[in-house]
Amino acid sequence: MTSYVLGRLFALLLTTLAASLIVFLLMQILPGDPAAVMLGVNAQPETLAALRTKLGLDQPLWTRYLDWIGGFPFGDFGVSHTYSTPISQLLAPRIMVTLPLALLSMAISVGVALPVGVYAASRRGKPGDFLSMGAAQIGVAIPNFWLGLLLILFFALHLRWLPASGFAGWEDGLWRGLRSLILPALALGLPLAAILARVTRSAVIEALGEDFIRTARAKGLTSRAALWRHATPNALIPVATIVGMQFSFLLAGTIIIENVFNLPGVGRLIFQSIAQRDLVTVQSLVTLLAACVIFVNFLVDLAYGWLDPRLAAGGGR
């Protein structure tokens, strides 16, 4: 088991490195000299050259790559050109927005999708199934940024329950901060929940058709107990795959949703850095995001072993 996990971790490291290299090379194509951008159009050639040296832009490509990636293990992601601040310092407060947002959205997605999917499967072909799957069909089609606007219109402007935009921060207590994240999390999470509910439904329907369900019923379980205790655990295996994939959607989704709700998160930072041609920041943030996605997929792989004993490493025959 340990060697399996170590092996996977190593592969994960390689993939992350490859991803970082791709991002790094891509950023080199970016038109516009960051030094020129920083100094503006009227910069003197000497000042420009001095800044280029200071930023290390006159070094060969591979030295710059190694310098940059070499800092990662120590939490050194470089220094932002625009803010002249270490990127790690820019990141810290923004992660406190984006991470809770992502986790909340994921919780909404799973928390809504599982019961709805299992319910629809258990009512297969009946009105409850058509209603919930019809709703899911629409949910899949709604773009999250529009859902965000609708939520603002209804819950913030009409009912005045929750703030329309901005982030209140965590300093004034958990609830204040959480309040500003509820609508964005719903906007991100509900469309994902719609996809996941459809997957859950078909996975549960498939599991319900298996022989072991009949065995469970023959043992005296109610159809409800057979559904939740026998069919659902089997259905969780395909569901976990989708949850893993959704995490990647979700991270990308934060870029847009943080714009809709004006949240000071990582997504907005990336977006602003792109607009300001802040090369190193974009490079580091995108690499970190890719690493996150790779890591979450690794966690999902581990979860498989837990959900499906047939895949558990070291299970032995």
Q: Residue 93: exposed, middle, or buried by beta-carbon count in 10 A (0-12, 13-18, 19+)? A: middle
CB atoms within 10 A of CB 48: 16
Q: Binding to another protein by residue 15, rule CB under 8 A?
A: yes
Q: Which stretch binds another protein (CB under 8 A): 51-59, 85-93, 171-179, 252-260?
A: 252-260
Q: Binding to another protein by residue 210, rule CB under 8 A?
A: yes
Q: Binding to another protein by residue 45, rule CB under 8 A?
A: no
Q: Binding to another protein by residue 157, rule CB under 8 A?
A: yes
Q: Binding to another protein by residue 188, rule CB under 8 A?
A: no
Identity of residue 90 = L
CB of 173 to another protein, least distance (A): 28
Q: Binding to another protein by residue 25, rule CB under 8 A?
A: no
Please say whether the beta carbons of 155 and 162 come within 8 A: yes
Identity of residue 75 = G
Q: Binding to another protein by residue 310, rule CB under 8 A?
A: yes
Q: Which stretch binds another protein (CB under 8 A): 58-66, 67-75, 88-96, 138-146?
A: 138-146
Q: Binding to another protein by residue 184, rule CB under 8 A?
A: no
End-to-end CA distance of the chain: 14
For the chain, the C-alpha Rg in angstroms (whole number) is 24
CB of 291 to another protein, least distance (A): 8
Contact track, another protein, 255-274, x by CB under 8 A: xx--xx---------xx--x
Q: Binding to another protein by residue 143, rule CB under 8 A?
A: yes
Residues contacting 29, CB < 8 A, separation 6+: none
Q: Binding to another protein by residue 286, rule CB under 8 A?
A: yes
* Measured distance CA(76)–CA(36) in Å, rounded: 24
Biggest CA pair distance of the chain: 86
Please say whether the beta carbons of 235 and 156 come within 8 A: no
* Measured distance CA(130)–CA(217) in Å, rounded: 26
Site residues (CB under 8 A) for another protein, limited to 48-87: none
Q: Which stretch binds another protein (CB under 8 A): 77-85, 91-99, 114-122, 232-240?
A: 232-240
* Measured distance CA(54)–CA(69) in Å, rounded: 18
CB atoms within 10 A of CB 260: 20
Residue whose CB is less far from another protein, 19 or 49: 19
Q: Binding to another protein by residue 17, rule CB under 8 A?
A: no
Q: Binding to another protein by residue 153, rule CB under 8 A?
A: yes
Residue whose CB is less far from another protein, 64 or 123: 123
Q: Binding to another protein by residue 8, rule CB under 8 A?
A: no
